[in-house]
Amino acid sequence: MKKADRDYCGYLFGHFIGEQGADEEQIYFALSEGGLHFKDLNNGNPVLVSTVGEKGVRDPFLYRTPDGEHFVLVATDLSIFNRGGWVKNAQGYFDASTTGSSYLVLWESKDLVNWSEPRLINAAPENAGMAWAPEIVYDEETESNIILFASSIMDPDTKMKAKPNAIYYVATKDFKEFSRPELFIDCQKDGSADGREREIIDTTVMKIGAYYYSVSKDGDNSEAGGGIRIMRTKTLLVPESWEKVLDLDELGLDLTDAGVDALDNGSLEGPELFELNVSDRTDPDVPEYGIIADRYMAGTGYMPIKTSDIEDRDNSKGSWKVLSDKDYSFDRLKKRHGTILRITKDEIERLKKAYS
């Protein structure tokens, strides 16, 4: 049964924790029973372990299907630990991003506790160097589940990138049969030197009102002109329809409690967009949204931002706020590139019983 806003009273956080051991690149859960204060589940041990592909998973995404009763978890098929670290190849690229897996790892569940065996989905386009950071959004026009992810396209002869990282997708109605991969969001060029394309990774998408909104890491770590970019479209599967709304660093937010000097691609990655539960909103009658982003350069994990108006492009309405450490807590384990799913009271109790 499809859930109503007021059915949700907690959150499930799925994530990985690092890459210093084989068990760190697996699926971990943390639970919040109200507000953004999470407690690690399963005594801090992995809840799901990949036995397929590279036997490591990163960047998990939790998805509740439109009927409200079926859950899918999809993740990057990658183990930096098993690969021996972030090794650079002869072309100067990190090997994992140019000779990486073209597969995604997928689990299914009806209750968030009992999960299927992991299976591989061959999602990436031809000559892709990797398939990273998958997420899922429902497309109302085609009535399909859209699995989006980042891929680079490699020249098989030179082993150089023929196209920088961009966002691609496959569509499915049943998570058994999948469409051919297609471009979802292309590389951005505005503000870059000589009109060059910037790399784009780590895209999250949500339907808010009449628009689908995306939040992405626009630009490689050192690429100028990018940031943590929000874009919008009314036609989800038309790549050229996406238009810029804002970059987070354009909002002029107070960063006193942020733990970073700038809200840009040089400081943050892995943004995740989610809706706040009614009980956690400033005004229960006004929808509010959170964006968490990983402070990867500082190595201090996630920081949250919230807004009641994603279109407040200069924060003139004061709708955007960086949360302080009094407003949230993520418990002992470091949360690396993860996902937040709104859950009900029954689901909270089921998770607590299974993983307390």
> According to the model, what pLDDT value does residue 300 have?
87
Q: Are the CB atoms for 164 and 197 separated by under 8 Å?
A: yes
Among 94, 29, 26, which Cα is nearest to 58's?
26
* Tens of pLDDT, residues 106-127: 999 999 999 999 999 999 999 9
Q: How many domains does the chain have?
A: 1
Cα–Cα dist 267/260, whole Å: 7
Strand partners, 107: 73
Helices then strands, counting H and E runs in the chain, come out as 2, 22
Domain of residue 97: give its range: 5-355
Question: In the prediction, which pLDDT does 194 show?
Answer: 80
CATH number at residue 220: 2.115.10.20
Give pTM, 2 decimals.
0.96
pLDDT in tens, 257-316: 898 999 999 999 999 999 999 999 999 999 999 999 999 998 888 999 999 999 999 999
| Cα distance between residue 9 and residue 92, in whole Å | 47
The secondary structure of residue 225, as a DSSP letter, is T
Sign of CA dihedral 40, 45, 47, 53: positive
What six digits make up the tokens of 278? Answer: 């009614």
